[in-house]
Amino acid sequence: MFQSFTETARPDQGPPRLEALRRAMADAGLAGWLVPRADAHQGEYVAACDDRLAWLTGFTGSAGFCAALADAAGVFTDGRYRVQVRAQVDTGHFTAVDWPETRLGPWLRQHLPEGGTVGFDPWLYTPEQIEALTEALTGSAIHLTSHTNLIDAVWPDRPAPPQGAITPWPDSLAGASHAEKRAALAETLRKAGQRSAVITLTDSIAWLFNIRGCDIPRNPVAQGFAIIHDTGHATFFTDPAKLDATARTHLGDAVTLAPPDAFETALAALPGPVRLDRANVPLRVVQVLDAAGVAHQWGADPCILPKARKTQAEITATRIAHLRDGAAMCEFLAWFDAQPPGTLTEIDVARRLEACRAATGQLLDISFDTIAGSGPNGALPHYRVSEASNRTLVDGDLLVLDSGGQYLDGTTDITRTLPVGIPGADERAAFTRVLQGMIAISRLRFPRGLAGRDLDAIARYPLWLADQDYAHGTGHGVGVYLCVHEGPQRLSRLSEVPLEPGMILSNEPGYYREGAFGIRIENLIVVTALDPLPGGDGVTQFGFETLTYTPLDTRLIDADLLTKPERDWLNTYHTACRDKIGPLLSAPARLWLDKVTQTS
């Protein structure tokens, strides 16, 4: 099993750890210390040695931060984690703060009215973040200062950095060799008049060098830094022990290998100007360059957009991965439907689903810990079942099942909401509205140049008509045997990145009624260029190709609420599920699929 169900949150350890941190703050002359859930690579997921927020507070969600002061400690989380944070931290010592409704700057002003110096680790914050916070504190007596990490100083049994092996990823799946990618990036730098670019995102490095690693659970990346020069030559700073002879041969002579502790020295010796992405480079990199007098310019990580625009080889590969994964899902669903209410727990569900994926013989990891939330647990969008929270599925429950697999040829992410026994009328109505939003995105045609913020409302419109909504984005970018959450594209009111052909996104509207039930439906989609329509104006139009093929549970659909185009889409989708997935199934699962995808 990849997934563990051991409860890792330790609320009881929060108070003594907070006290140790406060003693360290006092010794350093600091009024506060900032603890992000971040590492030096600004990835969403972190290695155990970098999970400082969870160690201090007990909160294990994938986004949040803590501001620790002498007499207050706020744990800031967004709408996905409002319930979880209050369950995981000692609320007698930590205060849950709703972010972004309450921002850090105003919160610090309120709790440090007389001012003071607040410290942070410059490896864990970006220039963009510190500039925004500095601006928010303008006019106050509060000052920010970079400092060696105080959490590390009081964490006696901090785990060692990960040492996962690095392996080549086939050029045939990537659609381009790393030599071709480096040459293209070098041309980008030359056109911009830049001598080099610093790359710190681990998935950008994996994409650039056509490598994969295993330093971060669920994400096949290796920790390290890279510098790409305008000549096409690159230096990769990572532990040399991670690379065997095959990996070294794959990288070749045009990629110099160096240990991580050589990174700062190399930065100081660079000729300028150096390209830095202010949204993800550690502030420490800027400090080193400035101290050495090396000129730098702000610019997006040059890997981000090429990585997001999947090649035809990557799209072809991930289609195959999604069909394999869809078949595993159908094997699971056929089994699940045969289990009476009251006989399964959430852990049983997660274990069985992982076993179905493993039975393909090609599962390398799950793409994130399976979310199997029943009843009120389903109302927690990022619920993680543990032995302590494990719940038996009973008649009338809804089960939100969000899961995915990592295969050599693709990364999958799918959510299905399943009824346990007979669903209620409220649940069916809400499910149908969520389905309408998902179908609206699936059927969409839109002109070139639109971003996720322009499309997000379309998925919410059916819910808004009923005075309902959900507190997360409609979709995130997804990699190909890379991170299940990949930027820069999103279907979100916050995203200004224009969508382009080849970008893969999730399409996952939902609805959550705290203490009662949750609903989410998710397919992965890829942006495609569409042919002009007869009688149209010939404006370049994009749309979405669906990658995920697993039937939707019609027992939760109020068909009277669907329009004819929506019903037609659903029937066409279910026909495609039979055609594409049916031949991959066992005989019992094929019979189940034929039954549940009949025309409605």
The tens digit of pLDDT for each residue in 396-448 reads 999 999 999 999 999 999 999 999 999 999 999 999 999 999 999 999 999 99
327/332 Cα distance (integer angstroms): 9
260/370 Cα distance (integer angstroms): 33
Cβ neighbors of 308 (< 8 A, separation 6 or more) are: 477, 486, 487, 488, 489, 500, 502, 503
What's the whole-number mean pLDDT along residues 350-374? Answer: 98
- Pair (202, 235) in one structural domain: yes
533/526 Cα distance (integer angstroms): 20
- Pair (82, 224) in one structural domain: no
334: its two tokens? 């056929």
Q: How confident is the model at residue 284 (pLDDT cuts 50, 70, 90)?
A: very high
Q: How confident is the model at residue 591 (pLDDT cuts 50, 70, 90)?
A: very high
Sign of CA dihedral 104, 106, 110, 113: positive
**Within 10 A of 291 (CB to CB), how many other CB atoms are there?**
11
Q: Is a pLDDT exceeding 90 seen at residue 81?
A: no
Q: What is the percent of the chain where pLDDT is above 90? A: 93
Q: Is a pLDDT exceeding 90 seen at residue 520?
A: yes
| pLDDT tens per residue, range 553-562 | 999 999 999 9
DSSP strands (E only) in 51-203? 65-69, 73-77, 95-98, 116-120, 142-146, 167-168, 196-199
83/101 Cα distance (integer angstroms): 16
What's the whole-number mean pLDDT along residues 249-275? Answer: 97
- Pair (245, 134) in one structural domain: no
- Pair (451, 553) in one structural domain: yes
pLDDT at position 61, please? 86
What's the whole-number mean pLDDT along residues 175-198? Answer: 98
What's the whole-number mean pLDDT along residues 60-86? Answer: 90
Q: Is a pLDDT exceeding 80 seen at residue 7?
A: no
**Within 10 A of 361 (CB to CB), how many other CB atoms are there?**
6
CA-CA distances (angstroms) from residue 591 to 38, 158, 352, 583, 584? 47, 52, 20, 11, 12
Residue 1 lies in a domain: no
Residue 173 phi/psi, 5-degree rounding, is: -85, -35
3-state helix, strand, coil in the chain (%, to 5): 40, 20, 40
Q: Nearest 5 degrees, angle CA 369-CA 370-CA 374?
A: 135
Q: How confident is the model at residue 375 (pLDDT cuts 50, 70, 90)?
A: very high
What's the whole-number mean pLDDT along residues 460-479? Answer: 97
pLDDT at position 10, please? 81
Residue 358 lies in a domain: yes
Q: How confident is the model at residue 12 (pLDDT cuts 50, 70, 90)?
A: confident
Sign of CA dihedral 55, 59, 62, 64: negative
323/547 Cα distance (integer angstroms): 8
Helix axes 452-464, 425-442, angle to 10 degrees: 150
State the chain's mean pLDDT as an integer: 96
Q: Are 97 and 79 in contact (CB under 8 A)?
A: no
Please tell me the total count of domains within the chain.
3
- Pair (88, 214) in one structural domain: no
Q: Are 48 and 159 in contact (CB under 8 A)?
A: yes
Domain boundary among 292, 307, 322: 307
pLDDT at position 149, please? 98
Return the higher-pLDDT residue of 433 and 537.
433
CA-CA distances (angstroms) from residue 60 to 14, 179, 428? 13, 39, 32
CATH of the domain at 436: 3.90.230.10
Domain boundary among 307, 325, 349: 307
- Pair (341, 287) in one structural domain: no
- Pair (340, 403) in one structural domain: yes
- Pair (144, 190) in one structural domain: no
pTM to 2 decimals? 0.95
- Pair (553, 519) in one structural domain: yes
How does strand 32-36 pair with strand 65-69?
A: antiparallel
- Pair (422, 536) in one structural domain: yes
Q: Are 404 and 363 in contact (CB under 8 A)?
A: no
CATH of the domain at 57: 3.40.350.10
Cβ neighbors of 155 (< 8 A, separation 6 or more) are: 52, 55
How does strand 225-229 pair with strand 234-237?
A: antiparallel
519: its two tokens? 């609903």
Residue 162 lies in a domain: no
Q: How confident is the model at residue 11 (pLDDT cuts 50, 70, 90)?
A: confident
Q: Is a pLDDT exceeding 80 seen at residue 452?
A: yes
- Pair (279, 337) in one structural domain: no
Residue 489 lies in a domain: yes
* Residue ranges making up the domain that contains 453: 309-596
pLDDT at position 8, please? 75
288/281 Cα distance (integer angstroms): 12
Q: How confident is the model at residue 538 (pLDDT cuts 50, 70, 90)?
A: confident
Residue 102 lies in a domain: yes
- Pair (275, 342) in one structural domain: no
Q: Which of 309, 316, 352, 312 is nearest to 489 (CA)?
A: 309
526 forms beta bridges with 504, 545
206/250 Cα distance (integer angstroms): 13
What's the whole-number mean pLDDT along residues 271-278? Answer: 96
Residue 6 lies in a domain: no
Q: Is a pLDDT exceeding 90 seen at residue 87?
A: no
What's the whole-number mean pLDDT along residues 285-304? Answer: 98
What's the whole-number mean pLDDT along residues 355-374? Answer: 98
Q: Is a pLDDT exceeding 90 seen at residue 71?
A: yes
Domain boundary among 124, 154, 184: 154
Q: What is the percent of the chain where pLDDT is above 70? A: 100
Residue 254 lies in a domain: yes
Residue 87 lies in a domain: yes
How does strand 398-403 pair with strand 414-419?
A: antiparallel
Q: How confident is the model at residue 41 (pLDDT cuts 50, 70, 90)?
A: very high
Q: Is 198 exposed, middle or buried (0-12, 13-18, 19+ CB in 10 A)?
A: buried
pLDDT at position 221, please? 98
pLDDT at position 80, please? 79
Distance in Å from the first CA to the final CA of the chain: 38
**Within 10 A of 221 (CB to CB), how many other CB atoms are there?**
26
What is the chain's alpha carbon radius of gyration, rounded to the nearest angstrom?
Answer: 25
